[in-house]
A and B are shown apart, each in its own frame.
Chain A
Amino acid sequence: DTGVSQDPRHKITKRGQNVTFRCDPISEHNRLYWYRQTLGQGPEFLTYFQNEAQLEKSRLLSDRFSAERPKGSFSTLEIQRTEQGDSAMYLCASSLGKDVGEAFFGQGTRLTVV
């Protein structure tokens, strides 16, 4: 399977714990995006990488959130000191090209904070 891969698929954590999610984009794609989706809503943009550079962060990305893409390949999204409001589906997408390209999404990581 050469699509976007995310791990884990599900994560249940206690409030206050740290969690880390991984995203492996389509291999030749240079752009990688993180989104968050809550129940009944469309996905909301969090942050974006072009190769290893993080070029944009949404206001939704509080200082408890950090994302990395150290070698321009896979990316990690860490949430520190999780809160119940962080419960959501976290989606990763990738696209190819310098400018605009079709984005392809992974299956998502569903986070539940108890």
Chain B
Amino acid sequence: GIQVEQSPPDLILQEGANSTLRCNFSDSVNNLQWFHQNPWGQLINLFYIPSGTKQNGRLSATTVATERYSLLYISSSQTTDSGVYFCAVRPLYSGGGADGLTFGKGTHLIIQP
């Protein structure tokens, strides 16, 4: 099945810093989503971005589908940005029926005051 690798696995920053999270995937995709998992476990949708660039406030994301990677940018980090960020993809050619999203292991981000 498709492989999803996220880097870095852990990131500790001071409040106000900028960060870039990366997601590499091993095959063509028709769905790519970025999520923030809050301390209670809920996955919060950040971006639905199978290709192109999107921005939402301090967050932006870029997916280069032809090169099989996506980047999530967080600017002017706040302590509330802390948590785990997941990238999830759905392969374009599902073959044996891989309709569900395949998640990476996440990036654990800690923003210190």
A residues contacting B by CB (< 8 A) are 33, 35, 37, 40-46, 48, 55-56, 58, 89, 91, 93, 99-108, 110
B residues contacting A by CB (< 8 A) are 4, 30-31, 33, 35, 40-43, 45, 48, 50, 86, 88, 90, 97-106
Q: Contact check: which of B41, B103, B104 meets A110 at CB < 8 Å? A: B41
| Residues of chain B with a CB closer than 8 A to A45's CB | 98, 100-102
Q: Are A42 and B104 in contact (CB under 8 A)?
A: yes
Q: Are B42 and A108 in contact (CB under 8 A)?
A: yes
* Closest chain A residue to B103, Cβ basis: A42
Q: Are A43 and B97 in contact (CB under 8 A)?
A: no
Q: Are B90 and A100 in contact (CB under 8 A)?
A: yes
Q: Which 3 A-B residue pairings sit nearest by Cβ, starting from the closest?
A: A45-B100, A42-B103, A102-B48
Interface centre among B97, B100, B101, by most A CB within 10 Å? B100
